[in-house]
Amino acid sequence: MAETRFDVGMTCEGCANAVKRILGKVEGVSDIQTNVEAKTVVVVHDESVSKDDLLAKLQKWSAASGKSVALSS
C-alpha cells in the first residue's frame, strides 16, 4: 500500500466530505483521512493508483470550489 499526502484548502467538514466522496470513488483507494484544521488529506491506496490521478480528481474539485490543492512535499 502507498500513502499520498495533499495540502488542501478545506475550510469546513463539507469540504472534507467532498474530498472523501471524490477520492473514495477511485478504485484502489482504501482509506482517506482529512484534517480540516491542518488542511491535510492522507490517502492510502494500491500501488496501481498514481498520485497524478488523485491530484487530477482533486484539481477538478478545486476549480469548482476555489479551494487550493497541492501534493504535500
Write down the pLDDT at residue 42. 98
Q: What is the pLDDT of residues 14-59, one digit of tens each?
A: 999 999 999 999 999 999 999 999 999 999 999 999 999 999 999 9
For the chain, domain boundaries: 2-71
Taking the alpha carbons of 35, 4, 60, 8 in that order, is the dihedral positive or negative?
A: positive
Confidence tier at 11 by pLDDT (50, 70, 90): very high
Write down the pLDDT at residue 57. 96
Beta strand ranges found along the chain (DSSP E): 2-8, 29-35, 40-45, 69-71
User: Considering the domain 2-71, what is its CATH architecture?
Assistant: 2-Layer Sandwich (3.30)
pTM, 2 dp: 0.93
- The label of the residue with cell 472523501 reads 20
